[in-house]
Amino acid sequence: MHTSHSDNLRQYVNDMIGLEADISKAIRGQLEDQRISRHPPLAAILGEIATQAESRLERLKTLSKDEGGALGSALKEGVMTATGVLAGLYGRMREHPVSRMVRDDIVAQTTAATSYGMLLTLALTSGHPECTTLAEEGLRACAPTVTSLTRVLPGIVAAELAEDEPSVNPAAPQVTLAAIREAWASAPEP
């Protein structure tokens, strides 16, 4: 592997370490919030996200160490780069309704999927099979969680609004989900 590929790999892997650590910490905090337990499908999705993130985190740390990555300053830089947006999203998690937490989780999982796509491209370009496998697994794990979280979000929003006053349209979550699916399906092919 060329020096520049190796340097880029270390940086990308350290970025992913910071991102996965931030996601895991935030999700574990959400799972301690009693409001999440009122939404069993959501709690199950979040539990799976945290478990998978923690597993990938350990593998990323091993990969970084194997590649001679310094988990000190490089990781600090990676955390600042990868999680700057997420820190703002999760900063006041308990002050927000569950629906906003889920929205932020969707953003975090989208960021993770995109980042794993970037890591996969680098791993394939540089010919690093171990990193390729890890990046493919991360991409395959994160992308479906965006869909899973999106499926539960309209029902959570409706339930929160129903706490204030009855819904004039009980089918709102289903109609919204259909509109979301239609919007995503309408994306043009490249």
In a domain, 119, yes or no: yes
In a domain, 32, yes or no: yes
Q: Encode pLDDT of 8-32 as tens digits.
A: 888 899 999 999 999 999 999 999 9
- pLDDT for res 10: 86
In a domain, 168, yes or no: no
Q: How far apart are CA 15 and CA 69, in angstroms?
A: 12
Domain ranges, residue 18 = 3-143
Q: Which residues contact 141 (CB under 8 A, 6 or more apart)?
A: 52, 56
Q: How many domains does the chain have?
A: 1
The residue type at 27: I
CATH assignment of the domain containing 44: 1.20.1260.10
* Residue 70, phi then psi, degrees to nearest 5: -90, 115
In a domain, 94, yes or no: yes
In a domain, 189, yes or no: no
In a domain, 160, yes or no: no
CB 124 within 8 A of CB 42: no
Q: Encode pLDDT of 147-170 as tens digits.
A: 999 999 999 999 999 999 988 999
pTM of the entire predicted model: 0.86
In a domain, 118, yes or no: yes
Q: Encode pLDDT of 47-85 as tens digits.
A: 999 999 999 999 999 998 887 765 444 444 544 444 444
What is the mean predicted confidence (pLDDT) over 91-112? Answer: 86
Please count the other Cβ atoms lying within 10 Å of the Cβ belonging to residue 105.
26
Cα-trace Rg, the chain: 18
In a domain, 184, yes or no: no
